[in-house]
Structure 1
Amino acid sequence: MTLSTKARAKKARARKALILLGATAITPVAMPAVAQDVVDLNAIRIQSDAAQDLLGNTEITEEELEDRNPQTMADVFAGETEVTASGGAPIAQKVFVHGVEESLLSVTIDGARQNKAAFHHAGNVLIDPTLLKRVEVSSGLAPADEGPGALAGSIAYETKDARDLLQPGDTFGGRASIGYSSNSNTFHRSLTLYGQQGGFEYLLSGTKATGDDYKDGSGTQMIGTGAGLSNYVAKFAYTSDTGKRLEFSADYTEDAGYRAGQAGGAGNYIRPDFANVRGNVIPVWAVSTRRSFNFTYTDEAPEGIWAPVLQLSYNEQELEGDIVTEGINTSLSGKVQNDFMIGNGILSAGVDFFHDTAEGTGLANTGTASKETLNNIGVFAQMRQDVSDRLSLSYGVRADFQEFSTPDGQTFRDGGVSVNASADFVLTENLSLNIGAASVWGGYELSEASLINTSAGASTFTPWTYSSITASRANNARVGLRYESGNWVADGALFYTQIRNAPYLFSGDRSNSPTITSRGLDASLRYSTGAGYVQANYTYAKVQLDGAQIGTTDYYWGRPMGHIFGLSAAFEVADGLTLGGTAEIALDNNEGASTLPGYEVLNVFASYTPKQYDNVEVRLDVRNVFDQTYTRRSADGMGFGPVTPLTEPGRTIALMVTTKF
């Protein structure tokens, strides 16, 4: 149901297979004609952007990313309300969908499965947003071909290739940028080189950000928030004259620096998600790294019934934080998939697998059994089709089989079936109804790597108990209406997500498996013209843990959201000059034991490309224009007595210059 990168590729391949291509080229190299009947499947309405938006499948487009100029993951989702991200240094940033943490979603980068981080005070997936091309988020209604473990949906990050950046007719190009942010004296610089010769293409990129701890709106310096991000990417691809494409990519991302910490018995424990803990915050050197390798084969000009996709990926996420709270997570994953053109639709079917590990590497784990392993094999099929002029459907099923191995030599095996269905029904010329439901088997989950077989203080060896571990399952539903007229689009939808036997990942007793629910309303209103757009979003999400409002330190589960409003806009007001901005407004949340204060924050930007130097862009950002002192609603520790939550940067003026050559 998600209009994911994979779904877009499927539509493109299906259309290319069924339309008389003639001399049309789908890649920079010429493609041969495909003599078949003209049957255009690109109009499957359930796959349209409008239908997907109403079904809770949010897309952050390349244009929107350029408008937001993201330096952090919070910037990526600025102006959105279904999706929020916490702040601080990259090591601490987490993403939430309707208040449910991303560890309960399927997360991929260029289709490659990502494992989570090693410690609950650290973020789950370390990403540098510099090369992001698109982000697609499914809130709840994950299709069968989106992969295993999509209890509350999925997040698919797609990065740019050489052919996304090359100008028509060029065989070589580059992009360099340098930027400065006033609040934290942060310097951001990046260099990307790319080229193409015949069917071969390559991309090499490096990014570096360094700076001091930032100050919030009151002038208080937040310990451990100074920039220390490095990212290096290499991509290579070959596309044959017949459309067979091989891609290989390698990605290394690191966040390193002194982060907020807390003194303990055996050492110092990192707390980069807090401003202070019991008044004894200290700087602790911490390093978070992600290493990823990805190989993909696709056929971009399929003939007959074969439109295959083969992928094999490996990634590591490692955390080093003094001599304790250290660990490493790995994931080896792959899939074989084919898209079958059947009647008036596309059937995507195949098999996938993953082999994930979590292993503690800190002081308490030395010489002890501290490694867990989780294996999964899945088979899936997802059908997308137009049944009539008014009705379009997407429905699918997948079966997963898992084996979970514990440090004490136990092995648990289980399996389950996941089903989903959604429909787009045209009521009138301007009004459509969308409805969908999914039941997802999540299975087991790896424990938090840094704490496996340790006590709560992470300083002594204490064997964990696994005997009552249970498999998780989620039930999701969504229904909404969409109205389109001229330049205006309005929609609203009710959503519901329930996750039973949610995994408890940092406890010595893995039998604790609560129920998490998120229910509420999404609404949006958008006005678009050729010069730009303005959009208003609203989400109310009531997130509960076993029937009570979820807490702000319920790690790997979720955070309390409440009422959130988002605004985004960008208009080209003159030749080469674009003005725009984003805003987020959160109302007070009084549903729990303590009130979570509301806030209003506004960001604006101006981007200028001189007519005589069209390869240069000068951009000025003013973030937190009114210098508000606030804590983002998705932050950790709000309303929790021993903790001073992390406040966000005060007014920040940033200048960036980018040149293409």
Structure 2
Amino acid sequence: MRLSYILIASSLAHILHAQSTIEHKMLDPIYAQAQRESAREHEHANTTTINAQSLQSRQATSLRDVFALDSSVSVGGATTTAQKVYIRGLEDRLYSVNLDNASQYGNLFHHQGNITIDPMMIKDITVQKGVPDAYMGVGALAGSMNIRTKDARDFLREGQKFGALVGLGGYSNQGYRANLAGFFALKNTDALLWVNWSNILGFHAGRGNGGNGEWVAGSANNNKSLLFKLNQQLSEQDSISLSYNGLNETSTAPFATNLAERNVTLFAHTNYNHTATLGYTHKADPSNPSSTQVRTNLYFNQRSIYLKPLTQEADNNHTNDHEEVSSKNIAFNNVGYNLSLSNQFSVFDIEYGLNYQGVFVADTAAPKDPVNRAKESGHIYGGFVKSTYTPSEHFVLAAQSRYDVFNYFDKNNQTHLTQGFSPAASITYIPISSLSFRAGYAYLTRGAMPGDATLLGDSDVLIHKNLRPESIQNVELNADYSGSIFCARLAGYYSRLGNFINSYAHDHDHNDHIHTPGEPHSHGGLRQNMDSAIEVFGYEGGIGADYKGFSSYASIAQNFPTYKGYLLQDTYELGAVSGIIYTLSLQYEIARYHLRFAWLSQFTQRVKYKGYDIYNDETGFIDKAGYSVHNLYINWEPFGAKRLALRLSVNNIFNTFYIAQTSPFKNEAMDPLKPDSIRRAMPSPGIDARFEVSYQF
């Protein structure tokens, strides 16, 4: 029994990473139950876990599809280029995001998203809210997001050593995709090579809810992605892995891809994401479970963006454009090393290790001068320790802490040396095996590091010479129930973010930098810490049932990010406000015929409030329309799993017009909010029927 309680605590707090034989025996039935879109994927209130079958059944092509089931996660922006993830109201840039244990840190462009991966290549995603995983939580303030890609053994059927997969799909609104994979698994070696191509020709917005079904300019994009995985078992305890994931996305769109604009210069957009990881794992000796387990990895990540107007004349004349329009050639590089050692005893587990990360960003298209060198760099040196103690079968105590040093050399030739501890602790009470209550607290710090890369080319945006580290206090109360049929979860949380580094603050001491009509563009800004704290209150909860072939889950979430007593206006690198979000998921499976039907509804309430603008230190009224979106999914595998698969999805089945509430309300951060301001964010797609067929040899 005690091991089962340790497992519950591990899932709740993400603090146990030892992979002993006993743990695998315990985990297998959990994942077996999670093969359907069921309540079992929602067992823990502070954690969201999404697996590959869930994504495949929805034919996910975007982050909006990926996180559709979690009401606490909102995705702003309509195209894959523009989409940003907001978790409990805070932007993913406040989270540590890792792909195959490689950091995806960086902000290439505040009008674009920060997470770029083909959803079909994802094995699973684990989002830890509030307290990050200490191992990969370098510089995290609001939590961590760990993404794992698939490998060969995820494709092969039992007893199969070699195989291939081919798939084709088409979308009515409007596009198509193709994928091809080859893979093999021998006794000690397995490898995968997988190529995907997705071409979205553009889409129409919805007609219902006040829309007219118009074609959305700038909504087309072309994605090519590649995944290579190689795993080698050196011995019973030792293994190495090599992975590479690459994505190339091209589109023709306005400069700001998350805005629907007319009569503006069109740009050629090219985005790349290259991630490579070399990892080594040494498992504990089965005859001595308390022996040391080792996991370590070396990684490289480069994300780059290339923006170029389609005509040379347009490059010199942007009278109808955003003030910040210009050519960009930006590359954000992350290199790093992670080391973790762990030991597991009967009632006590400990993990400890070191991390290094180097961050290098430059805009080679930006003008340079003695004050503005158009590039920045940073180095993070850190270590961590975390442990759990299980004094009885009813209690689990967990504690962890990081210490990190941040060395940032900015574009103005200034060095910022910031550092700090990031401790966290939790206590879990388990009165019965299916019910747990958890209280957690964390104080997390993040030092000054490179910010929005598009500001590298703006010599009128300066960096304050004495940046202080950001810090956040997270408090959370969770209740989780997971029975044989029913499950329920509930979380209430509070966060207080201090010294937030505002990349777009007005420089009130240098008024000559402020842009006025008729002058060349200037943000007139000073990247600096904010004077007051940002507070976030919120809750989320859900209830579900799983009985025979039927499963259901309903959830609700709302959060209130505030500053000086006001809800925030949408804020780049920080957060966005939305109304109450409800989701309802229903699924019925006819196991005999390998046929599954699913229905997903999301309801977002209208939100109208007086919001605070942290860029201009003023308030203004915000009104974001509510909407409901409903999707239907049908999946049929006539010959059983991992053979022929036929999938039909009808997204936005009632053709609703809507703009995601976490899409930006204003065109420009520096623009004041006027009473007659018109929301220019890009609308989401209308009805879209998707059909896909794949066959595995």
Q: Same fold per TM (> 0.5)?
A: yes
Change over 3 Å in CA distance of 1:189–1:11 after alignment to 2: same
Question: 1:229 corresponds to which residue?
Answer: 223
Q: What are the Cα deviations for residues 353-396 of structure 1, in whole angstroms up to 9, with x where unaligned? A: 10112212224359961111111111111112322111112211
* In 2: Cα distance, 1:150 partner to 1:523 partner: 24
State the distance in 2 between where 1:638 and 1:245 align. Answer: 50
* Contact 2:157-2:642 within 8 A present in 1 as well: no
The secondary structure found in structure 1 opposite 2:463 is coil
Following superposition, the deviation at residue 485 of structure 1 comes to 4.3
Q: Does 1:380 align with 2:384?
A: yes
Q: Contact 1:144–1:420 (CA<8 Å) still a contact in 2? A: no
Relative distance call for 1:179 and 1:453 in structure 2 (3 A) is closer
Q: Which residue number corresponds to residue 159 of structure 1? A: 149
Q: Is the 8 A contact 2:43 2:481 kept in 1?
A: no
The answer for the alignment partner of 2:511 in structure 1 is: none
* Contact kept in structure 2, 1:55 and 1:436, CA below 8 Å: no
- CA 1:614–1:256 in 2, change beyond 3 Å: closer, same or farther? closer
Instruction: Pick from 107, 111, 134 the counterpart of residue 101 of structure 2.
Output: 111
Distance across 2 between alignment mates of 1:174 and 1:134: 21
CA distance in 2, matches of 1:349, 1:148: 14
Give 1:242 deviation, angstroms: 2.1
What is the number of residues matched between the two proteins? 613
Deviation of the 1:7 alpha carbon: 5.6
Q: Deviations over 1:85-134 (max 9, x none)?
A: 22322211111110100011100011111122411111112111111111
| SS state at 1:163 partner | helix
SS of 2:140's equivalent?
coil
Pairing 1:645–2:681 present: yes
Cα separation, 2, equivalents of 1:192 and 1:528: 34
Once the two structures are overlaid, the 10-residue window that deviates more, 302-311 or 291-300, is: 302-311
The alignment partner of 1:348 has SS state of strand
Secondary structure of the corresponding residue to residue 655 of structure 2: coil
Distance 1:527 1:606, change over 3 A: same
CA distance in structure 1 between the partners assigned to 2:418 and 2:166 by the alignment: 50
- SS, match of residue 382 in structure 1: strand
CA distance in 2 between partners of 1:494 and 1:612 (Å): 42
**Counterpart in the other structure of 2:60:** 70
Q: Contact conserved, 2:461 with 2:527, CA < 8 A, in 1?
A: no
Match of 1:477 in 2: 475
Q: Is the 8 A contact 2:51 2:124 kept in 1?
A: yes
Aligned mates of 1:382, 1:362 — CA distance in 2: 44
Which residue of 1 is the match for residue 373 of structure 2?
A: 369
Aligned to 1:309: 295
Name the structure 1 match of 2:277.
294
296-305 vs 602-611, which moves further: 296-305
Q: Displacement, 1:564?
A: 0.5
Task: Find the aligned partners of 2:23 and 2:141 in 1 and give their Cα distance.
Answer: 33
CA drift of 1:586 comes to: 0.5
Q: CA, structure 1 residues 569+477, in 2 after alignment: closer, same or farther (shift >3 Å)?
A: same
Q: Secondary structure at the match of 1:562?
A: coil
Which shows bigger deviation, 69-78 or 116-125? Answer: 116-125
Equivalent positions of 1:53-64 (< 5 A) are: 53-64=43-54
Equivalence for 2:251: 257
Unmatched runs of 5 consecutive residues or more in structure 1 = 20-25, 27-48, 262-269, 455-460
* Residue 357 (structure 1) aligned with residue 374 (structure 2): no
* Cα offset, 1:589, TM superposition: 0.8
Aligned to 1:435, which of 432, 439, 447?
439
Q: CA deviation at 1:75?
A: 0.2
Whole-Å Cα distance in 2 between the matches of residues 205 and 60 of structure 1? 21
Separation in structure 2 between the aligned mates of residue 160 and residue 202 of structure 1, nearest angstrom: 10
Q: Secondary structure of 1:130's match?
A: helix
Distance in 2 between residues matched to 1:472 and 1:423, nearest whole Å: 26
Aligned to 2:317: none
Partner of 1:501: 499
Tell me the equivalent position of 2:260. 275
1:209 and 1:544 mapped to 2: Cα distance? Answer: 39
Deviations 1:256-311 (A, max 9, x none): 0102x2xxxxxxxx1100112xx534432111111111111012454542210111
Q: Does structure 2 conserve the Cα–Cα contact (< 8 Å) formed by 1:358 and 1:449?
A: yes
Partner of 2:396: 392
Q: Cα offset for 1:505?
A: 2.9
Aligned mates of 1:495, 1:484 — CA distance in 2: 21
Measure how far apart 1:232 and its partner are: 1.0
Residue 12 of structure 1: aligned partner: 19
Q: Which residue among 331, 346, 351 is the counterpart of 1:348?
A: 351
Residues 107-162 of structure 1 show CA distances to partners (whole Å, capped at 9, x for unaligned) of 00111111224111111121111111111111112242232111011111111111
Q: What one-letter code is carried by the residue in structure 2 that aligns with 1:137?
A: V
Letter in 2 for 1:447: G
In the alignment, is residue 207 of structure 1 matched against residue 196 of structure 2?
Answer: yes
Identify the match of residue 626 of structure 2 among 594, 598, 608.
598
The letter for the 1-side match of 2:181 is T
Q: What does residue 426 of structure 2 align with?
A: 422
Q: Which moved more, 1:520-529 or 1:482-491?
A: 482-491
RMSD: 2.6
Cα shift at 1:404 = 1.0
Matched, 1:87 2:77: yes
Deviations 1:328-349 (A, max 9, x none): 1111111111111234132111
TM-score with structure 2 setting the length: 0.83
Superposed CA offset, 1:200-223 (max 9, x none)? 211101111113220011311111
- CA drift of 1:226 comes to 1.1
Whether the 8 Å contact between 1:362 and 1:450 is mirrored in structure 2 is no
- Following superposition, the deviation at residue 438 of structure 1 comes to 0.6
Whole-angstrom CA distance in 1 between matches of 2:348 and 2:21:
9
User: Residue 530 of structure 1: CA displacement?
Assistant: 4.1
Residue 484 of structure 1: how far off its partner (Å): 4.2
Q: What TM-score, normalized to structure 1?
A: 0.87
CA distance in 2, matches of 1:465, 1:147: 26
Superposed displacement of residue 318, structure 1 = 0.5
Query: Match for 1:577: what amino acid?
Result: L
| Cα separation, 1, equivalents of 2:404 and 2:655 | 50
The partner residue of 1:245 within 236, 239, 246 is 239
Show the counterpart of 1:35.
Answer: none
Q: Structure 2: where are the runs of 5+ without partners?
A: 1-8, 29-38, 207-211, 309-325, 506-524, 611-620, 668-672
Partners of 2:584 and 2:63 in 1: CA distance: 17
In structure 2, what residue type is equivalent to 1:200? T
CA contact (8 A) 1:453 1:464 kept: no
Match for residue 125 of structure 2? 135
The answer to whether structure 1 residue 623 and structure 2 residue 642 are counterparts is no
Closer/same/farther in 2, CA of residues 503 and 93 from structure 1, 3 Å limit: same
Partners of 2:655 and 2:686 within 8 A in 1? yes
- 1:491-511 C-alpha deviation (Å, 9 max, x unpaired): 212111222112223564122
**How far apart in 2 are the matches of 1:407 and 1:352?**
25
Matched, 1:446 2:435: no
1-structure distance, mates of 2:235, 2:587: 40
Is 2:609 aligned against 1:576? no
Q: Is the 8 A contact 1:55 1:434 kept in 2?
A: no
Closer/same/farther in 2, CA of residues 590 and 407 from structure 1, 3 Å limit: closer
2:415 corresponds to which of 411, 415, 423: 411
8 Å contact from structure 1 (residues 347, 383) kept in 2? yes
Partner letter of residue 535 of structure 2? T
DSSP-derived class of the 1:510 partner? strand
Equivalent in the alignment of 1:557: 574
Compare 616-625 and 162-171 and name the one that shifted more.
162-171
Post-superposition offset of 1:4:
9.4
Distance in 1 separating the partners of 2:240 and 2:273? 23
For 2:548 and 2:43, how far apart are their aligned partners in 1?
21
Structure 1 contact 582–603 (Cα < 8 Å) conserved? yes
Q: What's the CA shift for 1:569? A: 2.7
> Which SS does the other structure have where 2:663 is aligned?
coil
| 1:209–1:62 distance in 2 versus 1, CA, 3 Å | closer
